[in-house]
Amino acid sequence: MKFRATCIILLSIFVITAHAQRRRRRTSTNDTITSNYEPAELFSPMFYKDKGTEFHSASGAPGPKYWQNRVDYSLDAAIDTVSKTLTCTEKITYTNNSPDALPFLWLQLDQNTYKPDARSNFATGFSPSPNQHTNGYEIAAVMINRGDVMQHVDFVVSDTRMQIRLPKPIIPNGGGITLIIKYKYVIPGNFGGRNDFFDTKNGKVYEIAQWFPRMCVYDDSHGWDTLPFLGPGEFYLEYGDIDYKVTLPSDMIIGGSGELLNPAEVLTAKQIARLNEARNSDKTIMIRNADEVTQASSRPKTGGTLTWHFRMNNTRDVAFGASRAYIWDAARVNLPGGKKSLAMSVYPVESEGNEAWGRATEYLKKSMEYFSEKWFVYPYPVAVNEAGIAGGMEYPGIVFDGYTDKGGELYWVTAHEIGHNWFPMIVGSNERRYAFMDEGFNTFIDIYAADAFNHGEFAPKRDGEYAPDKGNPADEIVPTIADPNAPIIITAADAVPEKYRHPIEYYKPAFGLVLLREQILGTDRFDYAFRNYIRNWAYKHPQPEDFFRSMDNGGGEDLSWFWNGWFYHNWSLELALIDAKYVNNDPKQGIQVTVANKEQMAMPFAVEVKLKDGTKKRMNLPVETWLQNKAITFVIPTTTEAESVTVDPDAALPDMNRKNNTMAVK
């Protein structure tokens, strides 16, 4: 019985299939249209290289056995402003949650990127001049804590990495170790880029980042991820709590990551009162105004040093700016669920004024409120906008922006750099390898933040990162896609030439997500899937496939064709309207339209008919149109005379040639 029933069902399917195929063949007359499109290449059924695991689930979420190591830091640093030296004792508490015993550790020594023989001097083609070097980290001691005894251990420095060889392995599944590292380094001058100092009218400004040896990530993708710091590929760091103290001349102010724990020791009573006022104010409150910068009374003590004490929990890094030249202002940040944070800016008098840094805190506050409302609540008690020469650099809870930036430029850079607190600082992807999960995702959220800011005061976002010629992003991306020398999005971050850095790491992935949101999934399905991805991977380490799988699962589509064509290839889209005529020459019977897909990419698309009565009629065709066809003929049901038909009427798709998209109806 069973066998017989199966036979009948199979036979029926065969008949139906054969009939369907015959029918389709008869109506399709488009096989002669020339096209480079190969559906089998775009719609590969074997896109994902690996199956889901217990660690990284097939759904894109962390699996039930996902693990991640933890690092807590305690730092006690001092800056000598005469010798420009930072000296520090660092305590690292490392927890090995992996299933592997660890006989050695690897740490990041980013300051070694300034050494004359650093690999970074040769990697990018922009070799620094001979006086743009330091000696990097000078490590005085590395010790491990064994009970009450500190034991010196062997370490090996290789470029920007340090290996610590342990006397016995750290046991898996929760074993730990405490390390003490004593070191110093000379702070690079204005060539440092992100570790620098420069002169202003009222004194030097220091920007201090990547300033302590940080643990490399040990994960289930590469084990120890020891890629050297070359500049373009940024950071991949573990999460934990960072407690840090910085001692420097008493006339200096620090704007730093995390909460200031000892305001009574380093601020005046007036400044503490003003900070409390700012915590309850949507308007920016001056903590130290321009006049006060030069007044000794704006510091709690004259001469000697002061020690500033900060703490930031559940973070992967901390940075700070320090200067006696800082104006300081602040305002409350209103977060979902009644939560609050504090936005602050520190800047020299050169940056003063409403055209410039006078609005920096407003830009910071509004960006934080928008990203929190839209994607994930900002988790830290403060955020600082610091004016310097790093020219746009992000760290957890602090951004370094250009002190000469003004207006829209300052708004865009502020929104962008604080946006990095979501990608890749809350969602801790590996930006040293995958720049698109850092710059691309952040640029994407910035586009909508600009639309939302102050009724679009600086919208739409058009800058060096996104549609730099200030035109239609869908058109401006076309030359990059068509450029045979352009790398694909999935290129090692350090292997993307500077010329392509913004187009390929920022613009193309950001616009790709716009296409996904606005043209493929729709805003509701996209936002739901993207929020799930963010929540699932907050404070964790997603890999690119975790993102792709998250969007497939949350959006309910197999999007491998899109990841394949847009992220793994620079495949071009070229839709062409081939024909538009009345069915049987009769306007009452509708318009028969033929559209060809002439290059390797495919997209869902809209077709619009302009009727002679002035109205318009639209049809939306799904991406499945291109599963089997290089060209498709279909009827738009109309009953009156039409003027013209247009493919992609909103110019929303990155169509190589728009000239063949419109045609008069014959």
CA angle 236, 437, 527 (to 5 degrees): 130
Inter-residue contact 550 to 63 (CB < 8 Å): no
Minimum Å distance from CB 322 to Zn ion? 23
**Single-letter code of the amino acid located at 181:** I
DSSP letter string over 585-622? G-GGG-EEEEEEE-SS----EEEEEEETTS-EEEEEE-
Minimum Å distance from CB 393 to Zn ion? 8
CA distances from 251 to 203, 275, 293, 298 (A): 10, 19, 10, 9
CA 230 to chain centre: 18
Inter-residue contact 163 to 106 (CB < 8 Å): yes
Question: Which residue, 219 or 439, is less far from Zn ion as judged by CB?
Answer: 439
Kindly state the number of chain residues that form the binding site for Zn ion, as judged by CB under 5 A.
1
Using CB positions, name the residue nearest to Zn ion: 439
Question: CA-based diameter of the chain, in Å?
Answer: 98
Minimum Å distance from CB 442 to Zn ion? 6
Query: Structure tokens of 15?
Result: 């008949």
Q: How far apart are CA 664 and CA 20, in angstroms?
A: 32
Question: Which residue, 347 or 507, is less far from Zn ion as judged by CB?
Answer: 507
In 48-174, DSSP assigns E strands to 70-80, 85-96, 102-108, 138-146, 149-152, 154-158, 161-170
Question: Which residue, 405 or 439, is less far from Zn ion as judged by CB?
Answer: 439
Buried b (16+ CB within 10 A) or exposed e, 74-106: bbbbbbbbeebebbbbbbbbbbbebeeebeebb
Q: How far apart are CA 547 and CA 48, in angstroms?
A: 12
Minimum Å distance from CB 234 to Zn ion? 8
CA 317 to chain centre: 16
Minimum Å distance from CB 201 to Zn ion? 29
Near Zn ion in 392-421, by CB under 5 A: none
Question: Which residue, 121 or 421, is less far from Zn ion as judged by CB?
Answer: 421
Near Zn ion in 81-100, by CB under 5 A: none
- Which region among 88-96, 307-315, 431-439, 575-583 touches Zn ion (by CB under 5 A)? 431-439
Q: Is the peptide bond before 479 cis (omega within 30 degrees of 0)?
A: no
Minimum Å distance from CB 399 to Zn ion? 10
Q: How far apart are CA 261 and CA 244, in angstroms?
A: 10
Question: Which residue, 136 or 392, is less far from Zn ion as judged by CB?
Answer: 392
Inter-residue contact 235 to 317 (CB < 8 Å): yes
Q: How far apart are CA 237 and CA 239, in angstroms?
A: 7
Near Zn ion in 434-473, by CB under 5 A: 439
Minimum Å distance from CB 544 to Zn ion? 18
N-term to C-term CA, the chain: 58
Cβ-based neighbour number of residue 601 at 10 Å: 25
Minimum Å distance from CB 439 to Zn ion? 5
Minimum Å distance from CB 443 to Zn ion? 7
Q: How far apart are CA 111 and CA 189, in angstroms?
A: 13
CA angle 486, 489, 490 (to 5 degrees): 120
E strand or H helix at 452, and its extent? Answer: helix 439-452
Question: Which residue, 329 or 439, is less far from Zn ion as judged by CB?
Answer: 439
What sign has the CA pseudo-torsion 447, 448, 450, 455? positive
Q: Residues in the chain, how many?
A: 666
Question: Which residue, 402 or 565, is less far from Zn ion as judged by CB?
Answer: 402
Question: Which residue, 133 or 462, is less far from Zn ion as judged by CB?
Answer: 462
E strand or H helix at 276, and its extent? Answer: helix 269-278
DSSP 3-state of 575 = strand
E strand or H helix at 508, and its extent? Answer: helix 508-515
Minimum Å distance from CB 447 to Zn ion? 13
Minimum Å distance from CB 465 to Zn ion? 7
Minimum Å distance from CB 233 to Zn ion? 13
Minimum Å distance from CB 437 to Zn ion? 12
CA distances from 451 to 248, 411, 415, 574, 607 (A): 42, 12, 12, 29, 27
E strand or H helix at 74, and its extent? Answer: strand 70-80
Question: Which residue, 251 or 439, is less far from Zn ion as judged by CB?
Answer: 439
Question: Which residue, 232 or 240, is less far from Zn ion as judged by CB?
Answer: 232
Q: Which among 526, 645, 650, 636 is positioned nearest to 591, based on CA atoms?
A: 636
Question: Which residue, 309 or 420, is less far from Zn ion as judged by CB?
Answer: 420
DSSP 3-state of 556 = coil
Q: How far apart are CA 537 and CA 55, in angstroms?
A: 12
Q: Which among 630, 628, 585, 638 is positioned nearest to 607, based on CA atoms?
A: 638
Question: Which residue, 90 or 394, is less far from Zn ion as judged by CB?
Answer: 394
Question: Which residue, 205 or 437, is less far from Zn ion as judged by CB?
Answer: 437
Minimum Å distance from CB 534 to Zn ion? 17
- Which region among 160-168, 433-441, 476-484, 555-563 touches Zn ion (by CB under 5 A)? 433-441
- Which region among 328-336, 364-372, 432-440, 583-591 touches Zn ion (by CB under 5 A)? 432-440
Minimum Å distance from CB 422 to Zn ion? 11
Minimum Å distance from CB 653 to Zn ion? 26
Minimum Å distance from CB 600 to Zn ion? 30
Q: Which among 111, 346, 281 is positioned nearest to 209, based on CA atoms?
A: 111
Angle between helices 523-537 and 544-555 (to 10 degrees): 140
Residues lying near Zn ion in the complex (CB under 5 A) are found at 439
